[in-house]
Structure 1
């Protein structure tokens, strides 16, 4: 930041260069915009995903069902640009999914289940999701890289 003293009619007048200040403000603005857009969708529940060598990343609206090894479930979805998290159990999952699908054209469900979870339980969750109206069911895996 540069402060100059200019002389006019014998009095010293200070001027402040604001160009560097504007640069710093824009850099801070960009930093905060980028830093606030990253959000961990699994932050409500700890899951250890199974490994996979093939992984396709889709850019679609979806509802994620995160299930930990103790069968605790969290329903993650975006509503009005914000990620919402709802704790659910097997009994009220269908009602919650039907409510979320009511006003949505995208009825995609991604199941993120802990690798130690019983496969039969995952199939039950997939069946409930399909009965609730899901068009697409995917199982999330971790990249083996």
Structure 2
């Protein structure tokens, strides 16, 4: 497709072709899509975290336990470059968590529990995590301004 013809001083026509311009735009688009890293923000687990006025931002490379309001437990961890999310039952939590922690260099566990869960249930999960080999336990919250 030709846009417009311009006359030069020596009477030669300049033609601007759109095809190479479109090719360059698509190449740039593909480059930025490939070069961008995508973060797993929405995990698909519905958890309403409790709020806190203390803000401490950590990059989570630890093992994370996600506890839903219906007491479902998910172990989230990174294996190589792949993020894993494994559902487990409470009776199998100690064994499964010990297996994941044995393969991890960092023995920290982050617990993300729904705010409607009772305190006793959270303490049971923390106890099982410690028995499985967790050296550090953190509780995930949402920052409240």
Q: State TM-score, norm by structure 2.
A: 0.79
Q: Following TM superposition, by how much is the alpha carbon of 1:31 offset from its aligned partner in structure 2, in angstroms?
A: 3.6
Question: After superposition, what is the alpha-carbon deviation per residue over 1:116-141, rounded to whole angstroms, capped at 9, x for unaligned?
Answer: 00011001100100111111100000
Question: After superposition, what is the alpha-carbon deviation per residue over 1:72-126, rounded to whole angstroms, capped at 9, x for unaligned?
Answer: 1111111111111100111111111111111221011100000000011001100
Question: After superposition, what is the alpha-carbon deviation per residue over 1:23-79, rounded to whole angstroms, capped at 9, x for unaligned?
Answer: 442234314543x612126x2321000001112122352111111111011111111
Matched, 1:30 2:32: yes
- The gaps in structure 2 that reach 5 residues or longer are 6-14
User: Which residue of structure 2 aligns with residue 8 of structure 1?
Assistant: none
1:1-145 correspondence to structure 2 within 5 Å? 18=20, 21-31=23-33, 33-34=35-36, 37-40=38-41, 43-145=43-145
Instruction: Tell me the matched-pair count.
Output: 135
For the residue of structure 2 that corresponds to 1:91, the secondary structure is helix
Name the CA distance, whole Å, in 1 between partners of 2:44 and 2:75.
Answer: 10
Shift in alpha-carbon separation, 1:53–1:2, aligned structure 2, 3 A: farther
Shift in alpha-carbon separation, 1:15–1:116, aligned structure 2, 3 A: same
- Structure 1 window deviating more from structure 2 (57-66 vs 102-111): it is 57-66
CA RMSD of aligned residues (A): 2.6
- The gaps in structure 1 that reach 5 residues or longer are 6-13
